[in-house]
Structure 1
């Protein structure tokens, strides 16, 4: 019996060791990935960090951007997401509402739209990647101070400062690209709408320009006040916010300024389970997911799409259904950082749709999901 127990014990330890090794390997290729700091000339196809002096995450830790040079004279400027702060309470309770550090985000860059997979039509493009750790849709220049008992604390809503410093540092490596794609998911999609005009100004050589917002819809009457007062967003950006729909305001302003010289795209799952949760917080003060919240989101999304189509005649829309809960019918949040190559509505992937637009064929798919 003792011999049997000893064998069982050894087996358990061996299995645990194997599981630990597997978990370690997985973590080493995901959250623990840390790309090297760029020094000297970068190699084509290799990821590097750029950590400009003075850049900072909301919790005071270091912030960095990422760069990967491609073999084609084309550039993707890619904004990550990760929640938002809209008032003092959400700033003070940062981790409950948004990513507060950029330390463990490097692995996201090489998945989805940033992968080197053969099925990725953008694999040989240069990537400039903006991790997210500011709660301000990458658009702030401010600090929020508050008292935690007897101690003063600071939340750094420095997203615009980080973005601007990174772009200044990265541009010398990029050259003069002829094609530009500005893209982002979730909070990064909001950032894409807010900052696309600023990004475009930095690439005067690019004649083929596409802007794609992935999974970014929150209705809030206080967007202008939040951007201007809490985040300290540059006035030229904040003043575009005139309604409760930040993305619609920003993309409409972009179209009114640049017309059809920029191809504008918007995609979203039709009952986004994360956006409905944040919308519930805005509406009720509580983060909740439910079938009823999904119903409200689906209605809001239909109105959003209608507004985009009325304001931007050439807009491309992709409404998709993925990861649907059989009870609530609520769906996955964001797609470009993960399963962007999966065939969805009309057997078209989001990557196919974006690439078609880049090549002059702006399409819409999945609108029937909103009826």
Structure 2
């Protein structure tokens, strides 16, 4: 069932959706309480056409409906699609009688992907809500995106973690602040699809175009390691920010990234149990998420025992953290990430829980669990977003909008020290670009990005993926 919610005079609107488009297939909303006799949709679908014409007439008034708004033209019209109807020919919903097995999934959509809704304990940070003033949106529904190899070749698998910010304490990990900041919210609060950069199956120079790619959307603000629920809270900062309609909503925050990731990885393991080459990667917050999940994924797939080529691709996040204020593990512990199974050795799990482990120490401990792994770090030498996150951790929301940042030279010096430490333990390739840009592999032009020493990213990435697994050397590209 589809509803149109109009916050103005009664109107009639005709809306066209292209079947299997990215916009149609991503989860827009769940609106369970809007069923009202005042909304009377008339639906007409041309089943033989690639365009589904939906004619809806609004009569009467409807109160503001939570979640997933989409503005149509200049009218405040929200199209709310229940999960059962979001599913199209390129969607699958896991359940007792439906395993969404890779060999029996429906034909992929236009972008080569299929959306899988795992249900169970998965969910995003906040319940469904939409604010037309700030344009803030949240949806609790979680899904993941699968790009299968067209020839059902399961030898190469990429597990790719989406970016989308992070909150750091009770003043930033709350519904009110994200709603008030709207388009500038600190975190992504809806699961979203991606088909850009290395997710673009149509790009002929994409080294992953023939891989099986499992893409993990990010909507919890917890670096994919959260496992706790925070009760609704508001602070003096909220009172000063305006947008008072966001206050008093009494909405808790679900730091549920661990459960989301584990559900996706369990599905991936069942469907791709024996790849010859397995890569885990991510960008921005997803980069750190991939690093924190690296040892667990290696253990799940038994890469050491099976001699599987195992690689970690980290785009635009290295743990440059204000350790003088608090060790990085204190943030992981705040998320509940020290209590879940990330395959830390026992001693490091204890340090994590105590809040005494640095970001470098955390990742070093995980690298030691997979000594034959190969890592590629892609970073701008003056990445503004990584430097802003440093200030967010150091100052909290009091520093917003963070106009004074960590010095670029100091940032790159710290980044270099961290990667030097990692390189003592495994095969580390570095690709550093003289830029302030944050995230490279989402861009259509990533393949032509040039490092500080003249290397080309497309070539380096292809060579890194195709090179034989060895720990004989630690190449330092772009340093």
For the criterion TM > 0.5, the same-fold answer is yes
Per-residue deviation at 1:281?
A: 2.3
Give the one of 360, 364, 368 matched to 2:468. 360
Give the one of 267, 272, 291 matched to 1:174. 272
Structure 1 stretch displaced more, 188-197 or 151-160: 151-160
Count of paired positions: 327
The question of whether the paired residues in 2 share the 8 Å contact of 1:85 and 1:135 is answered with yes
TM-score normalised by the chain length of structure 2: 0.62
Aligned residue number for residue 350 of structure 1: 457
Aligned residue number for residue 310 of structure 2: 209
Aligned residue number for residue 328 of structure 1: none
Gap change, CA 1:150 and 1:318, over 3 Å in 2: closer
Per-residue deviation at 1:332?
A: 1.0
> What pairs up with 1:331-342 in 2 under 5 angstroms?
331-338=436-443, 339-342=445-448
Gap change, CA 1:273 and 1:47, over 3 Å in 2: same
Measure, in 1, the Cα distance between the counterparts of 2:478 and 2:263.
38
Measure, in 2, the Cα distance between the counterparts of 1:50 and 1:334.
26
2:373 paired with 1:254: no
Greater helix share, structure number? 1
The question of whether the paired residues in 2 share the 8 Å contact of 1:59 and 1:100 is answered with yes
Per-residue deviation at 1:243?
A: 6.0
Provide structure 2 residue ranges, at least 5 long, that are not aligned to the other structure: 1-15, 27-87, 93-99, 128-139, 180-184, 235-246
CA deviations 1:133-175 (Å, max 9, x no partner) are 0111011111111246766421010001011112223333324
2:171 paired with 1:89: yes
CA deviations 1:276-320 (Å, max 9, x no partner) are 222222233323465x626x2431222222232244233111111
Per-residue deviation at 1:180?
A: 0.7
Give the one of 224, 233, 244 matched to 1:138. 224
Structure having the higher Rg: 2
Look up the SS of the partner of 1:268 in the other structure.
Answer: strand
The question of whether the paired residues in 2 share the 8 Å contact of 1:79 and 1:131 is answered with yes
The question of whether the paired residues in 2 share the 8 Å contact of 1:280 and 1:288 is answered with no
Give the one of 408, 429, 434 matched to 1:316. 429
Alpha-carbon RMSD: 2.9
Provide structure 1 residue ranges, at least 5 long, that are not aligned to the other structure: 1-23, 323-330
Measure, in 2, the Cα distance between the counterparts of 1:167 and 1:288.
36
Look up the SS of the partner of 1:219 in the other structure.
Answer: coil
Aligned residue number for residue 40 of structure 2: none
Pick 1 or 2: higher relative contact order, CA cutoff 8 A, min separation 6: 1
TM-score normalised by the chain length of structure 1: 0.78
Structure 1 stretch displaced more, 209-218 or 250-259: 250-259
